[in-house]
Amino acid sequence: MQSKILQQTDKDKVIIQITDTHLMDKPDAKFVGINPEESFHAVMEDVQQRFPNADLILHTGDLAQAAYPETYARYLNYMRGFGIDFYHIPGNHDNLSFFPFHVPEPEPTVIELDQWCIILLNSTVSGRTDGKIQPEQLVRLKQRLEQLRDKFVIVACHHNPFEMHSKWLDQHKLKNADELKAVLEPFNNIKLLLHGHVHQESYNEWNGIQFISTPATCVQFKPLSQEFSFDPIAPGYRCLHLKANGEFETYVHRLDHFNVTINEEISGY
């Protein structure tokens, strides 16, 4: 773990990152041989047990595999039951026409949490598996960062800006990562970029910013695999403890005693 181990205080902000739920249109439908609704609910029950006083839950995309209005409506209804603020950004499997954006495109969603701020970006392009943050949103991002120089900033998008050293997966990364980094580079108050998409835990660091991915709540991808391959490891989620002085602690929780049986005949993403 690259972050410091800190003592939690009452002033900490506790953020939960979930990602890649891949929900179906029916709660009992399966995706690559598993029930994504079941694993998602198991993750959220673990979150509720471990972090009942979390300040915010952030979903970093691929909310739906069957991206229909009823899928999103069921997700929203379920999440409202926790009584915790929750936010979400789309992934490549989501339908941008139905996705419940918090603000109209291309404006980034900005969430202020005392000394911290989270900026949500849309890296999804309809009809494509790889990602791109549109130029208009990058312009808005720069404007928001100029306004937030007195905050500690977390940026979030779905697609991975850095390669995962998996040939099949790296072709689906964020295609204009250099343009994004050019916007971020002048600002020394950006602490983290959180993303999903890769169905595994990963850490990169650039310009003092940690770029971090989180396990999916459904199936996992095998790290460092040159061909499409699943990993039978359990689903999980990330917790972040944000300090008022800009320090943070982050770690991944995986479900205990959760059996994953995957249809290995699936051969593509």
List pLDDT tens digits, range 139-170.
Answer: 999 999 999 999 999 999 999 999 999 999 99
* Region 58-64 average pLDDT: 98
Q: Give the H/E segment covering residue 38.
A: helix 36-50
Domain spans, the chain = 11-252
CA distance 176 to 145: 19
Residue 269 scores a pLDDT above 80? no
pLDDT tier, 2 (very low <50, low <70, confident <90, very high otherwise): very low
CA distance 46 to 69: 27
Tokens 């695999």: give the residue: 225
What DSSP character marks residue 5?
P
Dump pLDDT digits (tens) for 219-239: 999 999 999 999 989 999 999
Dump pLDDT digits (tens) for 199-216: 999 999 999 999 999 999
Query: If 0-12 CB within 10 Å is exposed, 13-18 middle and 19+ buried, where does residue 178 land?
Result: exposed
Strands (E), the chain: 13-18, 56-59, 86-88, 109-113, 116-120, 152-156, 190-195, 202-206, 209-213, 220-221, 230-231, 236-242, 248-254
What is the model's pTM? 0.94
* Region 78-99 average pLDDT: 98
Angle made by CA atoms 58, 173, 92, in degrees to the nearest 5: 55
What pLDDT is recorded for position 10? 65
User: Topology of 11-252 in CATH?
Assistant: Purple Acid Phosphatase; chain A, domain 2 (3.60.21)
Tokens 């008022």: give the residue: 244
**Omega prior to 106 cis, within 30 of 0:** yes
Residue 84 scores a pLDDT above 70? yes
* Region 95-99 average pLDDT: 98
- Residue 26: count other Cβ atoms within 10 Å of its Cβ: 13
pLDDT tier, 114 (very low <50, low <70, confident <90, very high otherwise): very high
What pLDDT is recorded for position 244? 96
